[in-house]
Amino acid sequence: MYLIVGLGNPGRQYAKTRHNTGFLLVNHLSARHGIKLIHRECLSRTGSGIICGQEAVLARPVTYMNLSGKALARLVKKYRIQPACLVVVHDDLDLRPGQIRLRTGGSSAGHKGTQSVIDCLGTRDFIRLKIGIGRPAGKTGEDEIIDYVLGEFGPGQAALVASALPRAADALECLMGEGLEAAMNLFNRSFAPDSDG
């Protein structure tokens, strides 16, 4: 069984923000595979179904981003998920808008949702699917970065991220059907064009 968790912030005011890219992909998977997120459990909205012949649970935590690990820890315990079958989907400032990357292990690279997951699970050895949102030009202060990730996509970025969602879903399906290495080799090589939107 796979557990696929998109990170984000609950509430309508955050629905279209860059930091909710993980939620966007889980919503895409939900629609693609007919898996409705109708259950409320483990501080999350969840749904279960079959993806590529594998049992899968999709989840969106209802905690805020910085407390995502609390929900993940409960879900992992309830469903007895091994790290190799846990996929955490989140936005990434260091990837260009629309670029996707699969990896396992490593640090949080400053992503507070991912750091919360690492802290609560006590391991870094889970799969991450990162979707690029780019960095704001000329802005490096912490408050500026927070404003950026909690802001909505510009038109150019929105189009790039929207086009990335089917590719990211394809990458997860490849992972589940053919394994992590095959999915990384196929999908980590693709790059999205630059956008100033």
Domain boundaries, the chain: 2-187
> Does residue 28 carry a catalytic annotation?
no
pLDDT digits 0-9 by tens, 151-162: 999 889 999 999
Of 133, 137, 172, give the one whose Cα is nearest residue 28. 172
Per-residue model confidence (pLDDT) at position 155? 86
State which residues of the chain have pLDDT below 50: 192, 195-197
pLDDT digits 0-9 by tens, 19-60: 999 999 999 999 999 999 999 999 999 999 999 999 999 999
Residue of 19, 33, 39, 111 marked catalytic: 19
Per-residue model confidence (pLDDT) at position 190? 61
Taking phi over 0 as left and psi of -120 to 50 as alpha, with beta for the rest, 96 belongs to beta
Q: Tokens standing for 84?
A: 């190799």
* CATH class of the domain defined by 2-187: alpha beta
Query: Which runs of consecutive H residues, i.e. helices, occur in the chain?
Result: 21-33, 68-79, 112-121, 142-149, 155-178, 180-187
Per-residue model confidence (pLDDT) at position 69? 97
| Residue 136 burial class via C-beta count within 10 angstroms: exposed 0-12, middle 13-18, buried 19 and up | middle
